[in-house]
């Protein structure tokens, strides 16, 4: 974005970095963020900046950031709007395909699944003790306990967390 050519000095990119005590990478970031320039750099052409214009631009950004309202150019706002519309469309498509569910429904399903795992895990000692009475081989102990734990976890893996009858694709998620 061409500068308004204030009363500052016209300097190169490297001189501007030195003037503000920042790196060249920072100057490149400033340019991408809308810093004013006198001449756009390119093959065989150096960037030229007016120090007063860049200082005023930086002060405006600092004031806007301090006020909690970051400066946005029209292009950035348009891109954010398009990204939001795309995300919304993708969410609606996933909902229509039954790939997403309301949060409260998933919370109920997860609570039910964890209750089942808890109950199964609490039954492991009772089931294992019958198989291990008189057993002295610790390898056999471990094998029996692991098998019982695996059974409890398999029940969770096989659980149908979402009852198809509960899904209402038109229901609003809150």
pLDDT of residue 3: 46
pLDDT of residue 69: 56
Average pLDDT, the chain: 82
Question: Phi then psi for 79, rounded to 5 degrees?
Answer: -65, -40
pTM for the whole thing? Answer: 0.39
Q: What separation in angstroms does the CA of 145 have from each of 12, 58, 66, 140, 153?
A: 73, 66, 60, 9, 12
- Whole-angstrom distance between the N-terminal and C-terminal Cα of the chain? 43
**CA–CA separation, 105 vs 2, rounded Å?**
54
pLDDT of residue 104: 85
Contact of 1 with 36, CB cutoff 8 Å:
yes
**CA–CA separation, 57 vs 51, rounded Å?**
10
Domain boundaries, the chain: 10-66, 72-100, 103-166
Domain 10-66 fold is Arc Repressor Mutant, subunit A (1.10.10)
Predicted confidence (pLDDT) per residue in 59-112, tens digit: 988 887 777 655 567 778 888 888 889 989 988 898 889 888 888 888 888 888
Following CA atoms 12, 27, 6, 34 in sequence, which dihedral angle do they give, to the nearest 10 degrees? 130
Contact of 3 with 53, CB cutoff 8 Å:
yes
Q: Which residues contact 19 (CB under 8 A, 6 or more apart)?
A: 9, 11, 51
Q: Binning pLDDT at 50, 70 and 90, where does residue 42 land? A: confident
pLDDT of residue 131: 86
Predicted confidence (pLDDT) per residue in 106-153, tens digit: 888 888 888 888 888 888 888 888 888 888 899 998 999 999 888 888
**CA–CA separation, 159 vs 8, rounded Å?**
71
């Amino acid at each position: 974005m061409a500068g308004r050519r204030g009363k500052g000095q016209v300097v190169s990119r490297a001189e501007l970095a030195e003037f503000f005590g920042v790196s060249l990478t920072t100057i490149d970031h400033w340019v991408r963020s809308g810093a004013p320039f006198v001449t756009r750099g390119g093959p065989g052409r150096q960037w030229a900046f007016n120090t007063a214009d860049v200082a005023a631009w930086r002060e405006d950004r600092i004031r806007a950031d301090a006020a909690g309202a970051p400066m946005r150019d029209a292009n950035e706002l348009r891109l954010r709007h398009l990204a939001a519309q795309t995300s919304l469309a993708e969410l609606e498509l996933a909902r229509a395909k039954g790939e997403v569910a309301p949060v409260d429904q998933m919370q109920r399903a997860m609570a039910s699944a964890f209750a089942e795992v808890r109950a199964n895990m609490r039954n492991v000692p009772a089931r294992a003790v019958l198989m291990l009475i008189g057993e002295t081989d610790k390898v056999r102990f471990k094998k029996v306990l692991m098998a019982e734990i695996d059974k409890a976890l398999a029940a969770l893996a096989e659980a149908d967390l979402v009852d198809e009858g509960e899904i209402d694709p038109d229901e609003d998620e809150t």
